[in-house]
Amino acid sequence: MYVAITLVVPVVYWILVRHWNCSDSCDLPRAGSISEPAFATPGAKPAMAYKEIFWMACDSTEQLRAEYGPFHTRAEAEVEARKLGFGYLLRYEHILGVNEEIEEVRCIFIELPGTVSEAVEGTQVTLHTRCATCGESAAHETGWQAEVWADIHEFEHSRHRVRLFEHARGKGLKEIGDWRG
């Protein structure tokens, strides 16, 4: 009996106060109705979420890629991409909700026309080593430099494992697995 009273009293109090404070034109939702502001046009679609757009210059479409930006316009991003020798633009669209929280992110890659193809350019490959344990890294021009760095690091830090990555402009980073046999 005590439980029923504690549940019924607040509901009855809310109904009485609402009735006393509101007239028949009160814009509070009634049971079974769709909550819609009083000023809304009947049957109109709800307002579209706010879309924030910005641009980045990037060197590839790979997950591991170099990005530079952000820029407010495509033209700004395109100028910087050409200066850096990047072949792609990345358009980010953030769909913002009611409290300006990001609800959805869209990424659109755009290949720049007139960029030098990799076959014609003969891209230079840079090797990168990175310790999977502590995160220390270095860049190398030749394979033997990477191997020496890895040997020294693994000797100085027991139980550390060094990984090797290859970076070519326009392709991004690519891990070379099982590189030490």
pLDDT > 60? residue 128: yes
For 41-60, letters b (16+ CB in 10 Å) and e give eeeeeeeeeeeeeebbbbbb
Is there a domain that residue 170 lies in?
Answer: yes
> Structural domain of residue 73, as residue ranges?
50-115
Is there a domain that residue 23 lies in?
Answer: no
Is there a domain that residue 61 lies in?
Answer: yes
Is there a domain that residue 42 lies in?
Answer: no
- Picking from 92, 115, 138, the residue at the C-terminal end of a domain is 115
C-alpha closest to that of 72 among 91, 58, 59: 91
- Picking from 67, 83, 115, the residue at the C-terminal end of a domain is 115
Is residue 98 domain-shared with residue 130, that is, in the same domain?
Answer: no
Q: Which residues pair with 97 in a beta bridge?
A: none
Is there a domain that residue 91 lies in?
Answer: yes
Is residue 106 domain-shared with residue 90, that is, in the same domain?
Answer: yes
Residue 9 region by backbone torsions, left for phi larger than 0, else alpha for psi between -120 and 50, else beta? alpha
| Alpha-carbon gap, residue 92 to 76, rounded angstroms | 15
Per-residue pLDDT reduced to its tens digit, 19-74: 444 444 444 444 443 444 444 455 545 556 688 999 999 988 888 788 998 999 99
Is there a domain that residue 93 lies in?
Answer: yes
Is residue 88 domain-shared with residue 142, that is, in the same domain?
Answer: no
Which residues make Cβ contacts (< 8 Å) with residue 150, sequence separation at least 6? 129, 162, 164, 180
pLDDT > 90? residue 181: no
pLDDT top residue among 105 and 37: 105
Is residue 127 domain-shared with residue 172, that is, in the same domain?
Answer: yes
Q: How many domains does the chain have?
A: 2
pLDDT > 60? residue 16: no
- Picking from 93, 115, 137, the residue at the C-terminal end of a domain is 115
Is there a domain that residue 6 lies in?
Answer: no
> Residue range 134-152: average pLDDT?
91
pLDDT at 22: 44
